[in-house]
Chains A and B, each alone.
Chain A
């Protein structure tokens, strides 16, 4: 069966969706990603959708699920590269993807993730000192 590749980059996982996904493929990506986050104790997930020509309510829900599941597993998710036409359509459809952090491109997305990871580790250190 087809799988969308997940690349490990230090503390982060990187996914580039480059095919028109059918629903099962989207679901398997969701499972694979949560597995990998837990296995590598990843702190960040970057999903690049610059090649995606549509995001319908199913894919939108999958992206929201991934963000929610990673948060529970102590990882941050950033979605990058959404095409303007896709963004317009998604909002009109009624999905504004609340709670999902976005960036214009992969480079900015990685910067954003690094900033989150640094902030989180500082917060952990600070709370460690208080104890």
Chain B
């Protein structure tokens, strides 16, 4: 199964990973709305990895469930972690300079969303969008 890991260390890497996800989604023949949703969620989460996690990686994998295909993306950093995930997932919660829609908003754009974080050890967010 196709799987690849990309580094997220600079603002240009955020642009690059969303272009990669766009290409993968279009190769799997996601429709344009689904492509746009997945790429937008990628942008939000990659920016979080860079700004809050101090950089990290995005692992992209093509996943299958019976006849259905999808894309699973894992964003991983070893930054300070999130103290209170429940609070961070709320609309309007913001620590940096955003609108506070990064986590809560990207959750609405995908089919599966999983977040794990430990203070001092980093954060891992995994999302899946099925075709």
Residues of chain A at the chain B interface (Cβ within 8 Å): 20-24, 53-58, 60-61, 83-86, 88-90, 92-95
Q: Are B36 and A23 in contact (CB under 8 A)?
A: no
A54-B39, A85-B33 are known contacts; what are 17 more A-B pairs with Cβ within 8 Å? A21-B15, A22-B15, A23-B14, A23-B47, A56-B40, A56-B43, A56-B47, A57-B44, A57-B99, A84-B33, A89-B40, A89-B109, A92-B37, A93-B105, A94-B104, A94-B105, A95-B99
Q: Are A85 and B36 in contact (CB under 8 A)?
A: yes
User: Which residues of B are found within 8 Å of A84, using beta-carbon distances?
Assistant: 33
Contact-residue bracket for chain B: 20 to 34
A-B contact pairs, 11 of them (CB 8 A): A20-B18, A22-B15, A54-B40, A54-B43, A56-B44, A58-B43, A85-B33, A92-B108, A93-B44, A94-B104, A95-B99
- Which of B63-121 touch A at CB < 8 Å? 91, 98-99, 101-102, 104-106, 108-109
Determine the distance from Cα of A84 to Cα of B37 in the docked complex, in whole angstroms: 12
Mostly, the A contact residues are: helix
Determine the distance from Cα of A22 to Cα of B37 in the docked complex, in whole angstroms: 18
Taking the nearest CB of chain B, how far is it from the CB of A42, in angstroms? 26
User: Which residues of A are found within 8 Å of B43, using beta-carbon distances?
Assistant: 54, 56, 58
Determine the distance from Cα of A93 to Cα of B104 in the docked complex, in whole angstroms: 8
Q: Are B15 and A94 in contact (CB under 8 A)?
A: no
Closest to B100 in A: A57
User: Which residues of B are found within 8 Å of A89, using beta-carbon distances?
Assistant: 33, 36-37, 40, 109
Mostly, the B contact residues are: helix
Residues of chain B at the chain A interface (Cβ within 8 Å): 11-12, 14-15, 18-19, 22, 32-33, 35-37, 39-40, 43-44, 47, 91, 98-99, 101-102, 104-106, 108-109
Task: Decide: A57 near B14, CB < 8 A? Known: A85-B36, A88-B36.
Answer: no
Taking the nearest CB of chain B, how far is it from the CB of A10, in angstroms? 33
Determine the distance from Cα of A94 to Cα of B44 in the docked complex, in whole angstroms: 13
Determine the distance from Cα of A90 to Cα of B37 in the docked complex, in whole angstroms: 9
User: Which residues of B are found within 8 Å of A56, using beta-carbon distances?
Assistant: 40, 43-44, 47
User: Which residues of B are found within 8 Å of A53, using beta-carbon distances?
Assistant: 22, 36, 39
Closest to A24 in B: B11
Closest to A23 in B: B11
Q: Are B101 and A94 in contact (CB under 8 A)?
A: yes
Determine the distance from Cα of A85 to Cα of B36 in the docked complex, in whole angstroms: 6
User: Which residues of B are found within 8 Å of A93, using beta-carbon distances?
Assistant: 40, 44, 101, 105-106, 108-109
